[in-house]
Chain A
């Protein structure tokens, strides 16, 4: 079992460019969660997706951020027109059901740096 796979591990973007972060959940998991970790901060929930559905995006900034989890392929977190404040570590996690009752398995994260 390969676990939760995220790529790229590191991503550098100039201000105004787009960033695309990918996450493949663990085999058999159809529930995906994205969290963001700003420097010196804890992980903050962004969005919860199932295949082809956004269940809860209450933690997503209202503009420039979007997420999808298509029927085929990985989940994508997209950040348009990046700004320096978007620099953070973005973690994806997956679970076999729609709860965090027993915790999740996290991927290794994508560290986004905006220059």
Chain B
């Protein structure tokens, strides 16, 4: 059975701090790893990672995948209060229609 474990489960930081969120996984026939941001509504897509060592970047957010050690990290630099959300990590197996999600990391950024 596919499995995704995220850590920490919650995190409180001050504006301007840099944070690193972790995601480890077990999956048969890995296809991709995805990060979503969830505020009080739909999970919104952040990144999809398929290859090891290639950093994906969008503004202050970046992510990288290590397929050998089976983990990914999501970095957020210069955090803002608008970054407060639950960050979800999910994996897709090749040819599968299911995403397996972790429980998420709840990030709170305080002024």
B-contacting residues of A (Cβ < 8 Å)? 4, 31, 33, 40-45, 48, 55-56, 91, 95, 98-109
Contact = CB atoms under 8 A, between A and B. Distances in A.
A100 B95 CA distance: 8
Interface residues of B, number: 25
Interface in B84-98: 88, 90, 92, 94-98
A111 to B, nearest CB: 9
A108 B48 contact: no
A42 B96 contact: no
Given A43-B43, A108-B42, A109-B41, A103 B48 contact: yes
Interface of B: 4, 31-32, 34, 36, 41-45, 48, 88, 90, 92, 94-104
Contact of A99 (B42, B48, B97, B102): B97
Given A43-B88, A100-B99, A106 B94 contact: no
Contacts, number: 66
Nearest to A105: B45
Contact of A107 (B36, B42, B99, B101): B42
A28 B101 CA distance: 26
B101 A99 contact: no
Given A101-B94, A102-B48, A45 B99 contact: yes
Nearest to A31: B97
B97 A42 contact: no
A6 to B, nearest CB: 8
Q: Give me the 5 closest cross-chain CB pairs, A-B, nearest first.
A: A42-B101, A100-B92, A106-B42, A108-B42, A43-B101
Nearest to A43: B101
24 contacts: A40-B103, A42-B103, A42-B104, A43-B43, A43-B90, A43-B101, A44-B101, A45-B99, A91-B42, A98-B97, A99-B31, A99-B96, A99-B97, A100-B96, A100-B98, A101-B31, A101-B95, A102-B32, A102-B48, A103-B32, A103-B90, A103-B92, A106-B36, A106-B44
